[in-house]
C-alpha cells in the first residue's frame, strides 16, 4: 500500500490553524443563548450512548455539505438562520475538518476545540434521547 500524502492528524492540524475554535469552557457559557445553534456531528449511536448538548441539532458528518447548501435538495432550514453555529464531535477532530470545509463553502462556523469530551469535563449539561417505546 502506498504511503499517504497527508495523514489525518496533519489534516486536522491544518484545519485548526485556519478555523475559529472555542474552548469547551467558553462553549458551556453559550447554553441557552437563542442566537447560538450547537451542531452535533457525531454518529447517532454516540449521541444515544453518551448524550448530547441540550438542544443541539444533529447533523451526521456525511450530510453536512448537503444540509448547509441552500441549492441542495437536502438543505435543512436550520442552516439558513442568521445565528452563531458551533459544531462539535467527540474530540474536536471531525468538527475541525468539518468547519474547515464549511469555511471553504463560505458558511461561518466554529467548533469546540476539545469536543464533547471536553464539554463533559467542563461540567456542561448533557441531555439524553427519550427511550424508544417497545414495539
Structural domains for the chain? 8-121 (3.40.250.10)
> Given a cut of 90, is residue 65 above it in pLDDT?
yes
Mean pLDDT of the chain: 95
pLDDT of 46: 95
Mean pLDDT, range 45-55, rounded to an integer: 96
**Over the stretch 82-122, which tens digit does the pLDDT of each residue have?**
999 999 999 999 999 999 999 999 999 999 999 999 999 99
What's this model's pTM, rounded to 2 decimal places? 0.93
**Over the stretch 2-28, which tens digit does the pLDDT of each residue have?**
788 999 999 999 999 999 999 999 999
Q: What is the band of 1 on the pLDDT scale with cuts at 50, 70, 90?
A: low
Those residues with Cβ within 8 angstroms of residue 83's Cβ, 6 or more apart along the chain or in another chain: 35, 36, 37
Report the SS3 class of residue 66: helix
pLDDT of 118: 98
State how far the Cα of 96 lies from the Cα of 87, in Å rounded to an integer. 8
State how far the Cα of 101 lies from the Cα of 7, in Å rounded to an integer. 17
Q: Select the more confidently predicted residue: 58 or 134.
A: 58
**Sheet with 84-88, edge to edge strand ranges:** 20-22, 110-112, 84-88, 36-40, 57-58
Diameter over CA atoms, the chain: 49
DSSP E strands in the chain: the ranges are: 20-22, 36-40, 57-58, 84-88, 110-112
Q: Count H helices and E strands in the chain, helices first.
A: 6, 5
Q: Are 129 and 47 in contact (CB under 8 A)?
A: yes
Amino acid at each position: 500500500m502506498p504511503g499517504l500524502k497527508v495523514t489525518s492528524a496533519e489534516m486536522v492540524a491544518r484545519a485548526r490553524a485556519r478555523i475559529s475554535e472555542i474552548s469547551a469552557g467558553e462553549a458551556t457559557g453559550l447554553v441557552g443563548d437563542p442566537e447560538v445553534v450547537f451542531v452535533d456531528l457525531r454518529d447517532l449511536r454516540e449521541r444515544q450512548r453518551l448524550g448530547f448538548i441540550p438542544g443541539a441539532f444533529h447533523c451526521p458528518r456525511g450530510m453536512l455539505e448537503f444540509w448547509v447548501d441552500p441549492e441542495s435538495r437536502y438543505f435543512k432550514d436550520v442552516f439558513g438562520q442568521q445565528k452563531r453555529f458551533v459544531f462539535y464531535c467527540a474530540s474536536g477532530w471531525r468538527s475541525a475538518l468539518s468547519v474547515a470545509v464549511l469555511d471553504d463553502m463560505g458558511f461561518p462556523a466554529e467548533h469546540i476545540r476539545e469536543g464533547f469530551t471536553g464539554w463533559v469535563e467542563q461540567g456542561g449539561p448533557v441531555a439524553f434521547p427519550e427511550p424508544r417505546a417497545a414495539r
